Chains A and B, each alone.
Chain A
Amino acid sequence: MSTGSMEQLYQQVILDHAKFPHGKGLGAAGDLHLHTGESHQVNPTCGDEVTLQVDVDSTAEGGVIIRDVRWDGQGCSISQASVSVLHDLVVGNDLATVDQIGGTFRALMQTRGAGLDDDAEETLGDATAFTGVAKYPARIKCALLGWAALTDALIKTGARESS
């Protein structure tokens, strides 16, 4: 049925995350010393949506760390898997690292499927599986939906001012 381009697009990592998503399910707000930001994003072309909550905390060194990400949503396998992978990549990392990962992922989406260098692949981990998505301009928005929600939710935590 397929020439293999479908397998390139829908890598097993993506199918697995879509089927068994990580961090899915919204919770109550974080502890008192945490700051939680929430964002709801919609892709108006297909109606896909995601609501994402992020808990941040300040570190002893004066930085900002992502304690937790919880989300809920409905959409295609690309959008759902992307938020699940995002969860794994950002939880436990500091804001600077998260910004670097997010920036690298956005750069990956601009490569038309050619991919980035080895360093970038190391930064992205499982998110490298989305390389094939960049070949299909209509699907890039799907992959970026969760990342857009994270950016917005982080602003709402107020963590941007303190970083």
Chain B
Amino acid sequence: MTSTLDDAARTLDATELAAVRADFPLLSRTLRGGRPLVYLDSGATSQKPEVVLDAEQDFYAQRNAAVHRGAHQLAEEATEAFEDARDRVASFVGVSPGSLVWTSNATAGINLVAYAMSNASLGRGGAAARQLALGPGDEIVVTEAEHHANLVPWQELAIRTGASLRWLGVDDDGRIRVDELDTVVTDRTKVLAFTHASNVTGAITPVGAFVERARAVGALTVLDACQSVPHLPVDLTALGVDFAAFSGHKMLGPTGVGALYGRRELLEAMPPVNTGGSMVEVVTMESTTYAPPPQRFEAGTQMVSQAVGMGAAASYLHELGMDAVAAHEAHLAGLLLDAVATVPGVRVIGPTDTRGRLATVSFVVDGVHAHDVGQVLDDAGVAVRVGHHCAQPLHRRFGVASTTRASAAVYTTDEEIEVFREALTGVRAFFGLEVS
């Protein structure tokens, strides 16, 4: 199960945290005016430890070759590195390597599921794929908290298949309305797609309740695990979801690679989406038979060095221990919330308690646009995200067009959050607004 942040046992001590930071070359650089970097934008993308950079470098320097073809030694070694990375990432999220498909990012993973369902709805994949088919009268359920990546693909799938799109609301605390599950998720629901943790509010979703309801009505679950996998211990098998997507670059790995987990029986029944080389068995001029998963969904030359980098990132996090990572970040979440609470005129969009949330805190500063807040923080060396964070409906729910988001990661320190707090304290005064 996902551990909530409250019950984690061990955290990182000061020595361990210093050692972690020393692993990330970028964290020691300075910005305009010689200011040290305070990186609070890990929700957008994380920084990378040396082991990840080395893994990619080493792959190209020593083992680069085409994978899954060629009889030469380099091809063997490249294939081994590629599949070893799959093993590492799969084991990191508690699934078998045969159920983990490489994708170019999490968005591509979610789209892969949506387009496979589209193809199944057209009859591709035959009788076995009928469990993935949708049509008029069927419903897809999402939530108001979704990143556009877990909303727009489902809007499009609904249009293509004639199914309807419904959604669960979000309460004033920024948490998905679990109480709406019984009324919104019904016998008509074929897909329930939801985020494990909001990239805006930081709220962690009680996955168990969603899976239970989906199973009761025979719907498939699709989990956006982008924000959870880098920050919490995640066991997708124990969570019981049918599909889950996450990206490499948010979990200390490279860009250009992500992973899609699919329950093996579903992947085996699923028709392909991208077709071409490397995903076939027998090709004649008339027709083609397809490779078993995961290769069936990995058409064309893969992002091998990035996959190797993502594997190294998974091992790095595994060695730190995700319980310790989660405990450290739970501590940071408390500090971030306290920091924001001490500054007059600042309102949090999301839960204001540390229970069941990430160290991702979005807020509005009364009278100052998020872009201007971010600019003043940048002047203090503090990197935050401003805007709608690819979640316009969630912002609309709270009546704001944009927010400022501070998001921490395993390498974030107490001192950095103090620099952030001090810089935030000066924002309203800078724009000539009352400070108390």
What residues on B are CB-neighbors of A47 within 8 Å? 387-388, 392, 395, 401-402
* Residues 384-424 of chain B, each 1 if its beta carbon lies under 8 Å from chain A, else 0: 00111000100100000110000000000000000000110
Interchain CB contact under 8 A, B431 and A136: no
Interchain CB contact under 8 A, B431 and A76: no
Interchain CB contact under 8 A, A77 and B372: yes
What residues on A are CB-neighbors of B371 within 8 Å? 46, 48, 75-76, 78-79, 139, 142
Question: Contacts A3-B33, A46-B402, A74-B401: A19 and B432 contacting too (C-beta < 8 A)?
Answer: yes
What residues on A are CB-neighbors of B386 within 8 Å? 46
A15 CA to B379 CA, complexed, in Å: 17
A79 CA to B387 CA, complexed, in Å: 14
Question: Contacts A15-B431, A47-B387, A77-B431: A6 and B375 contacting too (C-beta < 8 A)?
Answer: yes
* Residues 58-93 of chain A, each 1 if its beta carbon lies under 8 Å from chain B, else 0: 000000000000000011111100000000000000
Interface residue from A1, A3, A45, A74 paired with B387 (Cβ < 8 Å): A45
Interface residue from A5, A9, A46, A77 paired with B33 (Cβ < 8 Å): A5
Minimum Cβ distance to chain B for residue A40 (Å): 14
Q: B375, B386, B387, B432 — which one has the most chain A CB atoms within 10 A of its CB?
A: B375
Q: Chain B residues in contact with chain A, CB under 8 A?
A: 32-33, 368-372, 375-376, 379-380, 386-388, 392, 395, 401-402, 422-423, 426, 430-432
Minimum Cβ distance to chain B for residue A49 (Å): 8
* Residues 1-23 of chain A, each 1 if its beta carbon lies under 8 Å from chain B, else 0: 11101100110000100010000
Interchain CB contact under 8 A, A10 and B430: yes
A19 CA to B368 CA, complexed, in Å: 10
* Closest partner residue, chain A, to B432 (CB atom): A15
Q: Chain A residues in contact with chain B, CB under 8 A?
A: 1-3, 5-6, 9-10, 15, 19, 45-49, 74-79, 136, 139, 142
What residues on B are CB-neighbors of A78 within 8 Å? 371-372
Q: Count how many pairs of residues, one from A and one from B, have CB atoms less than 8 Å apart in the complex.
A: 64
What residues on A are CB-neighbors of B369 within 8 Å? 48, 75-77
What residues on A are CB-neighbors of B375 within 8 Å? 6, 9-10, 136, 139
Q: A interface, by DSSP: helix, strand, loop or mixed?
A: mixed
A45 CA to B33 CA, complexed, in Å: 27
What residues on A are CB-neighbors of B370 within 8 Å? 46, 76
User: What are 6 A-B interface contacts by the 8 Å CB criterion?
Assistant: A6-B375, A45-B387, A46-B370, A48-B371, A75-B401, A139-B375
A74 CA to B387 CA, complexed, in Å: 13
What residues on A are CB-neighbors of B376 within 8 Å? 2, 6
* Closest partner residue, chain B, to A3 (CB atom): B33
Beyond the given A2-B430, A46-B388, A46-B401, please list 12 additional residue pairs across the A-B interface where CB-CB is below 8 A. Answer: A1-B422, A45-B387, A47-B387, A47-B388, A47-B395, A47-B402, A75-B371, A76-B370, A77-B372, A79-B371, A136-B375, A139-B371
What residues on A are CB-neighbors of B372 within 8 Å? 10, 76-78
A46 CA to B426 CA, complexed, in Å: 22
Interface residue from B387, B401, B430, B432 paired with A6 (Cβ < 8 Å): B430
A142 CA to B372 CA, complexed, in Å: 11
Q: A45, A47, A77 — which one has the most chain B CB atoms within 10 A of its CB?
A: A47
Question: Contacts A15-B431, A47-B401, A48-B401: A6 and B379 contacting too (C-beta < 8 A)?
Answer: yes
Interchain CB contact under 8 A, A1 and B426: yes
What residues on B are CB-neighbors of A79 within 8 Å? 371
What residues on B are CB-neighbors of A74 within 8 Å? 401
Minimum Cβ distance to chain B for residue A93 (Å): 29
A74 CA to B402 CA, complexed, in Å: 10
A142 CA to B431 CA, complexed, in Å: 17
A75 CA to B400 CA, complexed, in Å: 11
What residues on B are CB-neighbors of A48 within 8 Å? 369, 371, 401-402
Minimum Cβ distance to chain B for residue A79 (Å): 8
A74 CA to B392 CA, complexed, in Å: 15
What residues on A are CB-neighbors of B402 within 8 Å? 46-48
Q: B379, B392, B395, B423 — which one has the most chain A CB atoms within 10 A of its CB?
A: B379
A92 CA to B93 CA, complexed, in Å: 65
Minimum Cβ distance to chain B for residue A24 (Å): 15
Minimum Cβ distance to chain B for residue A130 (Å): 14
What residues on B are CB-neighbors of A15 within 8 Å? 431-432
* Closest partner residue, chain A, to B433 (CB atom): A19
